[in-house]
Structure 1
Amino acid sequence: MSAQSFADRTLLELGRRLIADHYHFVTPTPLTHERVYQRLATPLAKDMRDVFGWSMPFEHSLFPADELADLERAGIVERDGALWRSAVRWSSLEGMLFAHSAYPTSQTDAIFFGPDSYRFAQLIVAHLQRCFEPVRRVVDIGCGAGVGALIAARSRQEAEVLAVDINPGALRLSAVNTELAGLNNVAVYHSDVLGSVDGQFDLIIANPPYMNDSQQRAYRHGGGALGEGLSLRIVRESLPRLGLGASLVLYTGVAMVAGHDPFLECVLPLVSGDAFGWTYRELDPDVFGEELLKPGYEWVERIAVVALTVTRRH
């Protein structure tokens, strides 16, 4: 067995063990996570939620020696001085368990999961509940841990669902999370937006990064003036790939400036006319307020989470 196969199999077996042990963890914002840490004089894991949810360091005695050795060999845990720490985190969502990057997500190729993931999942579920058109082919752009792809695949088990990302680590975790969920209608592909996948889709979903990140970490940095660049690119490249009656469901964030929504102002020319019907609404008017203290946000008054749905009529 190759090192990668061993790592993936070990991660999958760990996920199955956590499910059998009724593990459950809801991932908060990084700021909330930090505040929980601040309550503790010395964070030290007592159980699996502390290890794989709160990303606390732990003593070797928390695991049998042979299991700890396998977890280390698989790259799931690593030494942290005299202690150990998990390199992955497990989060619960819609009855499924997702592996993603541990806290803090400081690596440039970290795989994000957080409150946005829960809202994104709710948006997809709501759209599919209202959708009466056949959904045969779906793509989740920038799939990350695979939240969108798995939610769609479970709801439409007759559909072919593609999970695409430029991050090999995200594709690996999406594949593991798919197998853990017992779904057989998801395929993962390396693709820059839709560049490596052909044809039209009945549903295109995306939860892209939307921050202006000075470190340009892939899971946070959206590009453009205020983080809107990738979201706009997804809209431009997705609209020609929608079949008749098909929809783009985009969950993203917008840096509002002087009462104006710069993202919507750029989207309007793309969806105007008779070819498309569209809806746009704020899901949360104020998120990540701490970002306003950072360079590049001097003129931003708030960051809102928005949902754009575009459906091809003609």
Structure 2
Amino acid sequence: MLLDQQQAQADHALLQLGRRLQADGYRFTCVTPATQGRVNARLEAKQAHDLRGVFGWSRPFSPALISADELQQLTCAGVLREEGDLLRSTVRWSSLDDLLLVHSAWPTDSPDAVFFGPDSYRFAQVIRDHLQHRPHPVQHAVDIGCGSGIGALLVARAAPHAQVSAVDINPMALRYTAINAVLAAIANVSVEPSDLLAGITGTFDLIVANPPYMLDAGRRTYRHGGGPLGAELSLRIVEQACERLAVGGTLLLYSGVAVVEGRDTLLETVHQRLHGSDFSWAYREVDPDVFGEQLLEPGYEQVERIAAVALTLTRNG
């Protein structure tokens, strides 16, 4: 009970910090880890000089840089780390249009790190494109592996009468999603622990997912996709979605694929599994070349590029 109370106080402090940043007009566009590292390696970037440096670029800062209220909120939330005479926030705040989202600070080394970045912006566009052209209203939706909750928030805002579940195996992701939902004044999102769809019941007329798709030596939850080239989680989501979509329901899967000698093995596997089924589907490359630095990692010796892809899968009537 005491731990629950302490967590509630910490989450409330983070929420109040988010509201303060909103009121101050704070905005930050989150970049790739490689870009973040290159920008922060500049001599003038060794220490934060404004709020974007503190909460966007994850730079160490002098306690005198921020207000006493913000410092108190960071302390109460338990997200401050001392570095000599300086401090560093262990959370970041990033913008997507008018939304402000809390997620893990850079570098995201922790096993329970909560991801937000360029993939999140592309994932958001896939969702928006679909919702603009969807002929049927959304009643029951789920965001699988919700992370910071951007998928659930966008669906819930577009369908305010829908029941939207945000599920993840990472408790920190569920905490941050709940904070982000309250900060956005979105009331129709519920957060629930679940390994993909195993922990929740019912069928859905919209499933959205942006799973990890890398090979990660540390097997960090937000990054490691599993299988020989990182596609295992994406394929599991397709399989479970096929079982849980209502008639007319759609899966929106934004993921990545390691392309070897021109072959997209995720597309090939999806084609094999869906051939002759009662599903209609479309598959496209959203970006042909992402996270090129990953090709230097073990396991990618034969990979020529990593592509960001989107699968739209609908159960026919």
Superimposed CA distance per residue, residues 55-82 of structure 1 (whole angstroms, 9 cap, x where no aligned partner): 1100111234565244223212221222
Aligned mate of 1:236, from 239, 247, 253: 239
- Indicate if the aligned counterparts of 1:281 and 1:306 stay in contact, CA closer than 8 A: yes
Deviation at 1:309, TM superposition (A): 0.5
Q: Which residue of 2 aligns with 1:122?
A: 125
Which AA in structure 1 matches 2:81?
A: E
- Indicate if the aligned counterparts of 1:252 and 1:305 stay in contact, CA closer than 8 A: yes
1:36 aligns with 2:39: yes
Distance 1:216 1:292 in 2: 17
Q: Which residue of 2 aligns with 1:101?
A: 104
Deviation at 1:15, TM superposition (A): 0.4
More deviation in 89-98 or 265-274? 265-274
Deviation at 1:193, TM superposition (A): 0.3
Which AA in structure 1 matches 2:59?
A: M
Query: Map of 1:1-314 to 2, 5 A cutoff?
Result: 2-41=5-44, 43-65=46-68, 67-314=70-317
Which AA in structure 2 matches 1:229?
A: E
Q: Structure 1: where are the runs of 5+ without partners?
A: none
Q: Which runs of 4+ in 1 moved over 6 A?
A: none
Distance 2:69 2:30 in 1: 29
Distance 1:70 1:277 in 2: 49
Distance 1:67 1:106 in 2: 25
Distance 1:42 1:181 in 2: 31
- Indicate if the aligned counterparts of 1:89 and 1:102 stay in contact, CA closer than 8 A: yes
Deviation at 1:156, TM superposition (A): 0.7
Distance 1:276 1:22, change over 3 A: same
Report the secondary structure of 1:220's partner residue.
Answer: coil
Distance 1:66 1:274, change over 3 A: closer
Distance 1:67 1:306 in 2: 39
Query: How many equivalent residue pairs?
Result: 314
Distance 1:111 1:53 in 2: 14
Superimposed CA distance per residue, residues 219-266 of structure 1 (whole angstroms, 9 cap, x where no aligned partner): 110000000000000100111101111100000000001111111111
- Indicate if the aligned counterparts of 2:16 and 2:73 stay in contact, CA closer than 8 A: no
Distance 1:44 1:236 in 2: 47
Distance 2:204 2:78 in 1: 36
Which AA in structure 1 matches 2:240?
A: E
- Indicate if the aligned counterparts of 2:14 and 2:73 stay in contact, CA closer than 8 A: no
Which AA in structure 2 matches 1:98?
A: L
Report the secondary structure of 1:264's partner residue.
Answer: helix
Distance 1:214 1:10 in 2: 34
Which AA in structure 1 matches 2:262?
A: G
Distance 1:283 1:70, change over 3 A: closer
More deviation in 37-46 or 236-245? 37-46
More deviation in 74-83 or 86-95? 74-83
Q: Structure 2: where are the runs of 5+ without partners?
A: none
Which AA in structure 2 matches 1:47?
A: D
More deviation in 178-187 or 272-281? 272-281
